[in-house]
């Protein structure tokens, strides 16, 4: 069985953007990642007193960033351009946001240190996985969410408005609005 259907002449980069299986070891994807890593390294090398420079770099690195949003370095992303962030957000140290698929973050979101937003997926079947095929599913974080330190958000997850994800939780499925979730896998422990 072939992963690419006859007549499908899309590049791996286009397959990735379309949310289909692709091989990441592709020159076009590699060049995008290299450009992103250059910007990421420049951002991570800034000092606390270089706010205007940080803003300029973030504008190049990410898809969009709302007003009065702060990212404390270091941050780590795949492509950067697939990340949109609303206004008045705060992201603490060491965010990893693998944005092979879109990552959408609303307004007034708080992200603790060492949070991981992971959109990539890999086939369960050993053959395609060995052949380096992968895909991705988008992550959406609605307004006024708080992700505690060390939270991991898995591919395809949406977190509802005003919800809180407790430190160290692994979010494997959608979280409704106005709840507190904790654990691995994260589960609702109370309503807000």
Q: Indicate whether 71 pLDDT > 50.
A: yes
Cβ-based neighbours of 175, under 8 Å, separated by 6 or more: 157, 158, 159, 160, 163, 165, 181, 186, 188
Instruction: Provide mean pLDDT across the span 151-169.
Output: 98
Query: What are the Cα distances from residue 59, in Å, to 50, 81, 98?
Result: 14, 9, 18
Q: Is 20 helix (H, G, I), strand (E, B) or coil?
A: coil
pLDDT of 49 > 80? The answer is: yes
DSSP 24: S
Q: What's the average model confidence in pLDDT over 169-189?
A: 98
Say whether pLDDT at 50 is over 60.
yes
- The rounded Cα 140 to chain-centroid distance in angstroms is 9
Number of H helices, E strands in the chain: 4, 20
Report which of 124, 120, 108 is spatially closest to residue 77, judged by C-alpha positions. 120
| pLDDT for 147 | 98
User: What pLDDT sits at residue 2?
Assistant: 53
Average the pLDDT over each of 8-12, 45-49, 136-140, 149-153 and give the range with the smallest value. 8-12
How many CA atoms within 13 Å lie on the side-chain side of 134?
Answer: 19
Q: Is the pLDDT of residue 1 over 50?
A: no
Cα-only R_g, the chain: 17
Sign of CA dihedral 37, 82, 135, 180: positive
pLDDT at 119 over 80: yes
In the annotation, is 122 catalytic? yes
Catalytic residue among 122, 162, 170, 183: 122
pTM of the model: 0.94
């Amino acid at each position: 069985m072939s992963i690419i259907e006859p007549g499908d002449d899309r590049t791996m980069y286009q397959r990735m953007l379309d949310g289909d299986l692709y091989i990441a070891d592709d020159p076009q994807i590699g060049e995008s990642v290299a450009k992103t890593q250059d910007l990421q390294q420049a951002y991570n090398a800034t000092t606390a007193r270089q706010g205007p420079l940080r803003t300029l770099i973030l504008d190049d690195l990410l898809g969009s960033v709302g007003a009065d949003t702060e990212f404390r370095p270091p941050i780590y992303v795949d492509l950067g351009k697939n990340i949109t962030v609303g206004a008045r957000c705060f992201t603490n140290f060491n965010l990893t946001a693998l944005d092979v698929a879109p990552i959408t973050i609303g307004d007034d979101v708080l992200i603790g240190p060492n949070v991981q937003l992971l959109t990539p997926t890999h086939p369960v079947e050993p053959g395609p996985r060995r052949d380096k095929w992968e895909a991705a599913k988008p992550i959406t974080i609605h307004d006024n969410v708080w992700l505690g330190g060390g939270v991991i958000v898995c591919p395809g997850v949406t977190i509802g408005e005003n919800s809180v994800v407790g430190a160290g939780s692994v979010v494997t499925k959608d979280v409704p609005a106005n709840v507190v979730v904790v654990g691995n896998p994260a589960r609702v422990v109370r309503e807000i």
